[in-house]
Amino acid sequence: MKSFLGQRPYHPCPGAFSISIDALEMGLRFPLHSNQHYYMALMDQVHDVGRVITSLDNKSEILWEEIQKVKDGGNPNVVASVEQWAAEAQALVDNLKAELEEVI
């Protein structure tokens, strides 16, 4: 068989690798990893959770700043309730960070 400009004759298993024509027609680059879209969806969710954690962390920092402002000029009842809110927000942030690390 004559070779044209670097073309080679078809071989069903070039270099011990083969891919089915059906897989090629479906546009799958890696037919063994057909669940790739599930992995991408998971990564999108992990990214979204990361943004939520960052947002909650920022809110927690704002609450701690509020605590300092109230402590500097403050009513003890207001200080106690703001500290409680900040502690709850920080606990939620820590919990979500731990869950995110487990997923990754």
Mean pLDDT for each consecutive 10-residue tract of the chain (104 residues)?
Answer: 50 54 55 63 75 83 83 76 88 88 80
Question: What pLDDT score was predicted for residue 28?
Answer: 52
pLDDT of residue 34: 56
pTM here? Answer: 0.35
Which CA distances in Å does 65 have to 40, 81, 84?
38, 14, 14
| pLDDT attached to residue 1 | 47
Do residues 89 and 54 lie in contact, with contact meaning Cβ atoms separated by under 8 Å?
no
Among 61, 56, 62, which residue's Cα sits nearest to residue 100? Answer: 56
Q: What stretch of H or E contains 73? A: helix 36-73
